Structure 1
Amino acid sequence: MHQTSTTLKLRPLKRGSACLNCRRLKIKCDAKRPSCGPCKRIPRQTQCRYSNTRCLEQEPESVLPHLTEGLEEFPGKFSPPCTTSESCSSSCSENSLFDLETSPLLVIQMLLQCFLIHAPQFGFFLDPERFYESAFVSPAEEVHGPSPGLLSVVCLWGVHLSQCSIPGFSEPDLLRRSRRYISIEISADGHPANILHTIQALVLLATYLFRNNSLREAELHANSAATLVVACGLHKLRSARESCAGNTTLLDDAPPRDAIEEGERIRGFWAVAFLQTGLGIAFESHRGCYVLESPSVDIDTPWPLEIVDYEEGLLPPDYLGQGTVRHLIMDDRFPASPICMLQAKASVLFHHVSRVPAFGNNDWGSSGMTTSSTWLAMRISQFWESLPPLHVFGAETDRPAARALALAHAFTAAATITLHRRANASENSATAVAAARLILESLQAGDSSDTHPVWGGLFALACNVLLGRVRALRAFREALAAELGLGTLVSTPTAEEEEIVADLRNGFATMAVYAGESEVIGHRLKLLLEQYGTI
């Protein structure tokens, strides 16, 4: 790592206090304003900036035009910015207001910050520091800023998560602008960065609609993202195969500028795949064209890493891959991996299991063993054993990793349940019940602001297994009583039944917490409670 020598004795700074330049270069920062010591001594390509709201005084007036495009439509007042998830909502009080006319960029900065705190949980695959910094540079710096569609949908998420009341910056206003800009960008021939921004905007918009239970529109935007991903060849990144003559993609003439941008493209492919798999759970059916079926055996893109891993060169320059999904199903030894990779692998395992009937005739192996329930059960079990313990990450110390690991465990459990269905095994077996309990345990009640909407479908899958088991136990008791003529002597619930009912109630309580922030989870909870009332 590059280190800058200095004779100054710098005391440790509070995490996140360093300027963006020093954070990116991983050098010590004295956090002085308006420009820190290292940035004064060694001129940077970009001026010294900070990620907190006080650096607004440094922002130039000549920012990218699209940042303030349409701001004249939004007169009124707004609340001050926030730097933590807890303060995002509390800071939006009527007692501390700023004049929008004198601080037009403060709203945008606040909304970006409120979103980026939670960005990894909602499919944000770009480098957050680069994204944030590029949003506030002047045109003279020749840095490609966010597309209008991406900026609009990030602001939409910022309003949604902060729950701030900002006249003119309401969710309906920003949703309308996001739809309009994204629809224009999809059909436009633009800069390669804009294409990636459009994919990111589609993922975020689809996830927002998913969270608000607008499933059909969410599916539409997810499918648009999948179409762009394939058109850009993001499923063939670092491929060991020779490209076919005439098989061109939108990014053929635009190789990534550096390892981080290549990582963004890799992460973008898997973000779209994860989103489509999550929507498949919500619909409880297989609809449209999944990016994992283009076809799966032809996906050569390596598994995703964290952004910092690409910056540190953990993806070797000479790496070439082939048959990424095939390798996962056939012979992956499941080594220790970044949590984002484990989440991607778990969702792909679930997707493959749920599509086994459709791919039953594919020759994935000489003996067709990948369509065997025994083989798949073994592979799922091996992967599950390789996962870190569920609560190895603290919810407060490393929240994104904790959320991603919980999803990895939950998707693996969902794959086990689905495999029982595909293999015509009893859905109420001990294995399925244990997997259902694991899903309910994966996400304990807590801060509901950053819960991915896919949890609604995962919770429903788990609760339906437990409801089925309770019905089976009660039916057995009633049949036994009728056969033996014992009347009510065996009507008392067994210990197993009481335990499952307790698990269900705890699951409903957890869902109720998250239903307050996610309409799709609330809708699922309502349906489950109706079923529970009939048993």
Structure 2
Amino acid sequence: MDMAEKLIDIFLPFSSEVGFFLNTSRFRHSALIRHPIGHPSRPSPAVLAAVYLWGLRLSKQPFLTTQEPIFLFRALERLAKGLSGIHPQKAMHNLQAEILLSYYFFASGRFLEGRYHTAAAISLGLGSSIHMVRSAHSTSLSLLRPARDAVEEGERIHACWIAMILDKIWAVALSDAPNLDHQHESCAVDTPWPLEMNAYEEGRFSPTARYSNTFHNFVNCVPTSDTGMSTIALLSKATILWQRADSLARQWRPDMPWDQFTSFHTSFLALDSLIDTFRAGLVPLNCIAHLTPAMARILVVAHSIAYAATIRLHSVIPLAMDVNARCKRLTAARAVLEIVVAIPLHHFGFINPIMGTVWLSASQVLVDELHLLRRQHVPRQGEVEAHTMLFTRALEVLLTFSDSCPLLGYRISRIQEICVGMP
């Protein structure tokens, strides 16, 4: 139990970076009850094993990290048996374990296994109807019993959006389609935007409110009373926009017929406007009362992904062809790297592994711009120096994340490679 407590306490401060949606104080209390593993008062064996696995990874202590293969085997073994057991929280805890293992595999560069567990998480989430929490419409049969209280309901709301974030961010990173198209009627999300977890603890979630078409209303700019301004809600919205930008960008063909181009252009302008509007309304880090380190990290990821959406959307237009697209892409890339430079490193011993993809895309834009400036007959030396200085300062910060996980290390090494070719 002493080792269990150590691993849990290593994991929980950074749990939000790898999709942990359970209430942390309740989880820690129940995990450390002196009962055998599998006891209904403790978390399920599957989620405990996944948490211990991440605790080992985050410890950065060689005598612990060498045990990762053993704990990974144990986590997979327990996960396979999770739904056949009698644990009262088996569905939600298995879903949590699937999400944690997805992030573990993605962070390790094991993308096929990450995609497999992401698909399993999405399937289990649908079966549990976490996309219909507090739905104004009739709900389908669910694997879940009614929530005991507001905190448990809050966990289910967080689970809905955290599963969606997992599915969409890694679809973008792997240039793939997500498992779910949330605009499809069968996958409509009625679950409200998540509040901060302490809001559920303090009873600030209306017990009678009902919601509908949360996802649809956001992407179609339909005003609602459910504004979704918590850190997880903002990250969810940024993720939706990034994935939609990626999906639209992959539809681009320079030789597409005129009718397809007209439709594409209309969608492009609408999405570009929505991204700009969302970014303009993003809460700055210094404007949130009682900002915790976890909230700060989530906001950094949300702001960065929102800018990554602009970069991805405008990547379909060749740099030399459209000055406006070039300017928007460059401004967004600089914003991502300026966020990096401003990171308070004492709160950031670990960050969501997807940030490697975001940082690499922004760095590539800045290097491409430097190449363009150098090719001009009269290079704008002031701009060259400003871009170079920002890139250099950002790289210094990024290198501190190199040993966070294999994927971040690889992405940062790629940034170093393009830096070598920087004019």
The reply to whether residue 462 of structure 1 matches residue 354 of structure 2 is no
SS of the residue corresponding to residue 118 of structure 1 reads helix
Offset of 1:294 from its aligned partner?
A: 5.4
1:188-199 maps to which residues of 2 (within 5 A)? Answer: 188=84, 190-199=86-95
Among 169, 173, 182, the residue aligned to 2:79 = 182
- 1:116 is matched with which residue? 12
- 1:314 is matched with which residue? 204
Question: In structure 2, what is the Cα distance between the partners aligned to 1:498 and 1:149?
Answer: 52
The reply to whether residue 453 of structure 1 matches residue 353 of structure 2 is yes
1:82-97 maps to which residues of 2 (within 5 A)? Answer: none
Aligned length: 403
- 2:335 is matched with which residue? 438
Kept after mapping to 2: 8 A contact 1:421/1:427: no
Among 221, 244, 253, the residue aligned to 1:352 = 244
- 1:407 is matched with which residue? 301
- 2:215 is matched with which residue? 325
- 1:384 is matched with which residue? 279
Among 2, 25, 41, the residue aligned to 1:144 = 41
Specify whether residues 226 and 431 from structure 1 end up closer, same or farther in structure 2 by C-alpha distance, changes over 3 A only: same
TM-score of the superposed pair, with normalisation by structure 2? 0.85
Offset of 1:329 from its aligned partner?
A: 1.7
Question: In structure 1, what is the Cα distance between the partners aligned to 2:204 and 2:138?
Answer: 24
The reply to whether residue 250 of structure 1 matches residue 151 of structure 2 is no
The reply to whether residue 261 of structure 1 matches residue 155 of structure 2 is no
- 1:233 is matched with which residue? 129
**Residue by residue, what CA displacement relative to the aligned partner does 1:136-180 show, whole Å, maximum 9, x if unpaired?**
33569x853111111111111112222345579822221221122
Question: In structure 1, what is the Cα distance between the partners aligned to 2:323 and 2:115?
Answer: 31
**Residue by residue, what CA displacement relative to the aligned partner does 1:305-355 show, whole Å, maximum 9, x if unpaired?**
122212233322222222111111222559572222112111112222222
The reply to whether residue 416 of structure 1 matches residue 319 of structure 2 is no
Offset of 1:262 from its aligned partner?
A: 1.1
SS of the residue corresponding to residue 470 of structure 1 reads helix
Question: In structure 2, what is the Cα distance between the partners aligned to 1:248 and 1:502?
Answer: 57
The reply to whether residue 527 of structure 1 matches residue 420 of structure 2 is no
Question: In structure 2, what is the Cα distance between the partners aligned to 1:354 and 1:282?
Answer: 9
- Structure with higher helix content: 2
Offset of 1:261 from its aligned partner?
A: 0.9
Specify whether residues 129 and 183 from structure 1 end up closer, same or farther in structure 2 by C-alpha distance, changes over 3 A only: same
Unaligned 5+ residue runs, structure 2?
Answer: 253-261
When the two chains are superposed, the root-mean-square deviation of aligned CA atoms in Å is 3.1
Kept after mapping to 1: 8 A contact 2:99/2:166: yes
- 1:208 is matched with which residue? 104
Unaligned 5+ residue runs, structure 1?
Answer: 1-104, 361-366, 481-489
Offset of 1:275 from its aligned partner?
A: 1.5
TM-score of the superposed pair, with normalisation by structure 1? 0.69
Of 374-383 and 455-464, more deviation after overlay is shown by 374-383
Offset of 1:192 from its aligned partner?
A: 5.0
The reply to whether residue 156 of structure 1 matches residue 47 of structure 2 is no
Offset of 1:454 from its aligned partner?
A: 1.0
1:63-82 maps to which residues of 2 (within 5 A)? Answer: none
Question: In structure 2, what is the Cα distance between the partners aligned to 1:228 and 1:336?
Answer: 25
Offset of 1:504 from its aligned partner?
A: 2.0
